[in-house]
Each structure stands twice: as C-alpha cells, then as structure tokens.
Amino acid sequence: MLARVFSCTTVGMEPYLIEVEVDVSGGLPEFTIVGLPDTTVKESKERVRTAIKNAGFDFPPRKIIVNLAPADIKKEGPGFDLAIAIGILAATGQFKAENLDDYVFVGELSLDGSIRGVPGILPMALFIHKETKKSFVVAQDNGKEVALTPVTAYCFASLLKVVEFSENPQFYRKVEQQSLEDFFKTKQEVVFDLADVKGQHLAKRALEVAAAGGHNLLLIGSPGCGKSLLAKCLPSILPPLTPAEALEVSKIYSVAGLLNKESPLITCRPFRAPHHTGSVASIIGGGVIPNPGEVTLATHGILFLDELPEYRRDVLESLRQPLEDRIVTISRVSAVITYPAKFQLVAAANPCYCGYYGDGLKECTCTPYQVNKYRNKISGPLLDRIDIQIEVPRLNYQDLVDRKKEESSWEVQRRVSKARQRQLERFAGQGISCNAQMGGKEVRKYCQLQDEAKNLLKKVYDKLGLSVRAHERILKIARTIADLAGSDEINIIHLAEALQYRALDQSNSIREY
C-alpha cells in the first residue's frame, strides 16, 4: 500500500516542501530510502524501526521503499524521521489516516518513540504559512519557536500522540501565536558601558560615528590601551533591533541550531568575536554540509576581529566580498547556497609584533623588516573597505585616575538613534537602512558638498592619492557626521572630521602608519 506524507527541510536559508512517499509491499524484508538522502537520513531507518516498536505499533516485516521528492534536492538531518514513521503506519493501516495532506511533519525520533526538536523550524514555519495552507506538526521542543509565526501548528512529545492527533485532530489545540513585541518589553542589561571607559574621547567619538552610520571600524594601538573594551561597548550604543530584524537574526540562529528553546527570539544585536585561528569555513561558512559562518551569525550586529593581522591571509581576503555585497555564496557540487552577511566589522590591531611601535613610553623591539612584515598581513583592498581607521593612544595616568563622570552608552545611543532615524526617512523605499550601505548613485545624490568642502577634499584626494572607494567612504562618513549634527548639508567641519578618521590614508600606506 502507498501512503503520502509531507515534510520540510532547509537548504541554506531556503525552506523546501518535501513529499515523503512510502510504499509497503510483499517480498523479502527490506527498508530503503531514496531521493538524495545524506548519511543522517539513511540512519533514520534504525531510529524509525525501533521508535515504531517502542511506541506500541508493529513494524512490518515487508519490503518498504521511502522516496523523498523532489529527488534533486539534497536531504540532510534527522527531521524526516517523524514523517517517515507516520507514512509507514499509514501505509500499513495501523491508524485511520485521513487528511494527512493537510499537515507537514518535522521531527527527530528517539528510540523510545519520543520526538526531539530539530534546527531550522522558524524559517520552515514562515514558509509553510506563506506558501501552503497546511498545518505544521513539530516536537514540543520547537513549540515556542513556531509560536513566533502565524502558522497553524501543533506540538507533541511522542509518536503515539501524533498518531492519536491524526485520527482525531478536533480534540487538540493549536499552538497560540506569541507577539514579537512581548519579547522586547524586558529591558536589556548593558554589560559594557562607555561610562566605564576612561578618556579616549576621540575613539569614543569614532565609535559614535560608526554606530550612527553602520560604518566598519579599525582600532590601532598598543596593548592595553582599551581597543577591545571600546569594541565591546559598540552594541550598547547601536539602535535596538526592530521586530523584523530580530526575526531575521532568529531565523539564522534557528538554521544553525543555536536558538534558546525557552526564548527563541533574539532581541539583542549579535556580537561575534571568533578567535584568530578560525578557518575560512568557520568565518565565512561552509563545510561538507554548508553551515552559516561568523559573518552570517553577526547579521544586524557586530563581527569583532581582535588582533586582525594574526588572522590567516585567506580568511582576511575572504571578507572582501561579504563586506561589499552583504551576502555570502557557498558553491558545492550539490547546491549553491547563499547566506546573509549584513554585519558591521570592527577590528583591532597592534602597530607591530611587540605592539609598541610609535608608543611614547615603551620602546619597540621590532626591526623595520618585522614591522613592515606585520603590517603587510592586512592587504590594501581590505583596508579600503574599512570606513573608519583610527589610532587609539595609550591612556595617561591622569586620565586613568580622573573621577570625572564619563558619558554613558544610553546618552550616546539617543544621538545615534536620531541620526539613524534621519537616514531611514532619507532612504525610505530604497532598501537602505544606514549611510554605510549607500552605493555610488546614492552617494552622488545625498553627499553633496559645499564649495569650501569640495576644495578641501580635492586637495586631500590629490595629496594622499586616495582610491575611488576611499573617496566614497569619506563622503559617507561626512554624511553621518552631518546627520549626528542634524544638518542636511555637509559643510567643511563635517568633512574635516571625516578625514581624520582615515588614519591609514593619511600615511598613504599601511607600511607607514
């Protein structure tokens, strides 16, 4: 007898509806799964067989063929277990199988017949609600995740309960949808506050400009000057996530299997700080089964690369494309997968191997060759994509012991939010949320300079030999500074401040900074 059940899977971030066809016929006992399954899917034969027996049903000693259609999509993970088990029970007439086409079953089976949650439920639920009229049947572990979506969903703890539901669905309540706004009512605790950072007023101002315009930032300075602390303070001055952004970030973490079961909506901007020994696959994404990398997990948040020159050259160069395109494309034989990479890069670097080149108090022990070799680890094209590059000086003793109250992150965030609101109004309907995302067309339209500022930029462009990309980024920074000042025009003061945030351009080469 033939039975048909629906399941769902994700390939990258894209969900696909999968038709699970189960045929039980006479012949020697055999259990075969076809339809481009991976090893995990093939192993479901033993999980399904044992779970059916331990749930109190009979596993037929007959020839069973399971086809996962369409066959050209790679099937990965244990999420098909539940659909395969329901299909076998329906095909052997062990329960009254009516209206199975109205449901999508996703879940991993334990050997005792209980159902475990699987990754990727959030994008699946949104897809099922938007593209089909079916209801979603998942494990209890995924209950709070599907509650974030308007899909009609049911959650169960065991295979037996799912069978009982399939026979009498009218006796079971669907999962109640939860408003996204409810998750934002709890005030987020600020772990790193700018009020705790002594001195470093130029660096704090650069941090504010970077937050207001979404600009990438590089902090250069000797060890212990506060580069890492400043970077960790950046999330506290960024505008809060909107519900739409929070849902997009949560979808990524759902696919990666990193969502908290009890609080599945991520309401804080991600701050990812991978170690400098990370591989290209861990930073960019990939693997035999492609998974999201750090650049994707940092979407709508911060990717912090401490000790930037210590990262492998191939890792640093692989950042160039996502910094420009805000997506990552991973090519494999079976599929081409695209992940979002809407992150803000913040990096920290020492000026040399020992870290004290140019330090006013401690002598550098590196040779000129070693200094140049260290700095050459960061390529010019990568530096060109970092909008703000500033030097963070050593903190003097007087600033360290000064009891003067520093400005808090909350006060800075208010100014940043006002500037971001101006940008949202300016770019309404254009798919741009901040100045850093402007293309050449938007720069020419919204970054017009006054005559005095034009003359200054021309002199700087000729003297420093700026690239076209560096020229555009200076204009974007100036636009952000004008937004912070509440000005519609970019005057010479805004441009002059923007120029001082290009420390490496002023040296005309990283070899000289």
Paired sense of beta strands 30-34 and 63-69, if any: parallel
pLDDT at 513: 35
- Measure the CA–CA gap between 6 and 16, rounded to whole angstroms: 11
**Residue 144 in tokens:** 């709070």
pLDDT for the residue numbered 506: 53
Nearest to 54 by CA among 109, 13, 117: 109
- Do 254 and 123 meet the contact criterion of CB atoms below 8 Å apart? yes
Counting as low any pLDDT under 70, the low residues of the chain are 187, 334, 503-513
Can the peptide bond before residue 70 be classed as cis, meaning omega within 30 degrees of 0?
yes
Tokens of 176: 């109640």
The pTM of the full predicted model, rounded to 2 decimals, is 0.91
The residue type found at 234 is L
pLDDT tens for each residue of 131-188: 998 999 999 999 999 999 999 999 999 999 999 999 999 999 999 999 888 888 776 7
Tell me, what's the pLDDT at 505? 59
Within a 10 A sphere around the Cβ of 342, how many other Cβ atoms?
19
pLDDT at position 181? 84
Which one, of 237, 266, 289, 163, lies nearest residue 418 by Cα?
237
Q: Which domains does the chain have, with CATH numbers?
A: 2-171 (3.30.230.10), 194-429 (3.40.50.300), 438-508 (1.10.8)
pLDDT score for 228 = 92
pLDDT given for residue 264 in this prediction? 92
Neighbours of 150 (CB within 10 A): 12
Per DSSP, the three-state class of 361 is: coil
Burial 61-71 (b: 16+ CB within 10 A, else e): ebebebbbbee
pLDDT tens per residue, range 223-237? 888 899 999 999 999
